[in-house]
Structure 1
């Protein structure tokens, strides 16, 4: 398959509409349709069902969409990492580490200090991102290594080492009746009147339906909680960030959050390997 054909197919498969996909790609619709038909002939499989009600994916098309996204991510990542290596001023590219803004602050500081003490340590550029974005930045090559949090972030297809496991707390405005308890349960939090849980963005940037406010980052979320507009269930380490007016109460039946350091399985970077070793020793 040609990369161009694969990009064309992914655009159509995501839009499920040839006209919108052609507009997104900046080409006319007839050559797009011909390219998809040529791809289907080459593979010997129908990828799309075309009907009066629109376009749907066949089972083979669903497989190619999943695999095609991963292949295109790998191509984009290879290009980005190659360009970064070529532009490195010392001839030795640094490492880009991505983490969610407002999360794992203490762990990150310890990790950077530990790695800086390693012989041959290179510069580490820390990229702080919004909620749910670090996985995508790692997969598309804008970052070399990431701190991810299971079960919220997917680590499928990545190499990982577990660094830290912790329980979760509900963060509430000071003075709320639940702040007087030693611990609560998920059902207690779900039933809170006037303090809905936030809606976190999907990988594509869209938000799920619900009554809670859409939230992009921790600073915004903590401000909403302090104003009495929301509550949130977060890893216990968030206690270090809480200001006056916010109280954290343990949630007894919330799932454990595991912080992992993750990197692409094909990485051969000695700097990434050294950073991972420093992380696992902490």
Structure 2
């Protein structure tokens, strides 16, 4: 299978429309349709179900989309890292969600900076669930991610800490004064539907809650009484004065991990991971 064929397939699979995919690729639709048909015949599978009104992925197509994204991401990452190496840069890029893991990140960077061979670390702050894409396509070398909310499939990881979760409420809300709540209590709030985060494809799940992409936007909407959210307990550290955090005793624990591509041969990445592991061991 050629890279060009994968690019064609992924474009159609993401757009689910041959015309839009052709426009995105800068080509005419007929040769794109022929290329996809040829790919299906060569693989011996149907990748798309086509009708006069819609295009949908088959099960086989869904598998190839996941694998194809990974392959194209790895190729893009190899190109970026090769070009960066040619410039003589020895540093690395660490990506994390903006507003999350602030104290942990500060401690991690300080521990690594104390190493005699430490490289420069550029911190890339991203929006929700973008770390995986940025790490996979080579824009970042290492990432701070959070189970069970972020997918670390295909990456090597090291656990850095586990914590409980809290619900974030307007400071004057009736539940704000409680010592703890349960997830059923939060789900039953008629006035504060749960916020909705984007899926990996950029769309949002159905529901009445506000669509959010980052903590700044989220906290403003909670303060206005429009939505709520359950987050890792460490968010208390820099919580706004007009918001309250109440422990959710039956919410799953959140584990912070440092993640990196398994094929990485970067000494800087290895050194940062070692420093993170030592810092975690001393703070447990």
Hey, what does 1:83 align to over in structure 2?
A: 83
| 1:77 shift after superposition | 1.0
- Bigger drift between 131-140 and 36-45 goes to 36-45
The correspondence of residues 128-143 of structure 1 with structure 2, limited to 5 A, is 128-143=125-140
| 1:15 shift after superposition | 2.6
Q: Output the CA distance in 2 between the equivalents of 1:55 and 1:205.
A: 19
Name the Cα RMSD after superposition. Answer: 1.6
Q: Output the CA distance in 2 between the equivalents of 1:59 and 1:227.
A: 43
Q: Output the CA distance in 2 between the equivalents of 1:47 and 1:232.
A: 38
**What TM-score results when the alignment is normalised by the length of structure 2?**
0.93
Q: Output the CA distance in 1 between the equivalents of 2:63 and 2:122.
A: 36
Q: Output the CA distance in 1 between the equivalents of 2:79 and 2:250.
A: 44
Matched, 1:273 2:270: yes
Change beyond 3 A, Cα 1:54–1:179: closer
Hey, what does 1:110 align to over in structure 2?
A: 107
Hey, what does 1:208 align to over in structure 2?
A: 205
Hey, what does 1:251 align to over in structure 2?
A: 248
Hey, what does 2:193 align to over in structure 1?
A: 196
Q: Output the CA distance in 1 between the equivalents of 2:35 and 2:250.
A: 52
Matched, 1:19 2:16: no
Hey, what does 2:42 align to over in structure 1?
A: 42
Change beyond 3 A, Cα 1:45–1:123: same
Q: Output the CA distance in 2 between the equivalents of 1:61 and 1:198.
A: 31
Matched, 1:231 2:228: yes
Q: Output the CA distance in 1 between the equivalents of 2:199 and 2:218.
A: 16
- Bigger drift between 106-115 and 192-201 goes to 192-201
Number of residues paired by the alignment?
279
- Bigger drift between 63-72 and 272-281 goes to 63-72
| 1:277 shift after superposition | 0.5
Gaps of 5+ in 1: none
Q: Output the CA distance in 1 between the equivalents of 2:191 and 2:56.
A: 41
Hey, what does 2:282 align to over in structure 1?
A: none
**What SS does the corresponding residue of 1:276 show, helix, strand or coil?**
helix
Q: Output the CA distance in 2 between the equivalents of 1:198 and 1:59.
A: 30
| 1:51 shift after superposition | 4.1
| 1:108 shift after superposition | 0.1
Hey, what does 2:63 align to over in structure 1?
A: 63
| 1:39 shift after superposition | 2.3
| 1:227 shift after superposition | 2.3
**Which deviations, in whole Å up to 9, do the C-alpha atoms of 1:112-147 show, x marking residues without a partner?**
000011121111000001111111111111100000
Q: Output the CA distance in 2 between the equivalents of 1:18 and 1:134.
A: 29
Change beyond 3 A, Cα 1:61–1:99: same
Hey, what does 1:8 align to over in structure 2?
A: 8
Q: Output the CA distance in 2 between the equivalents of 1:269 and 1:134.
A: 19
Hey, what does 1:176 align to over in structure 2?
A: 173
**Which deviations, in whole Å up to 9, do the C-alpha atoms of 1:211-239 show, x marking residues without a partner?**
11111111121122222222221100011
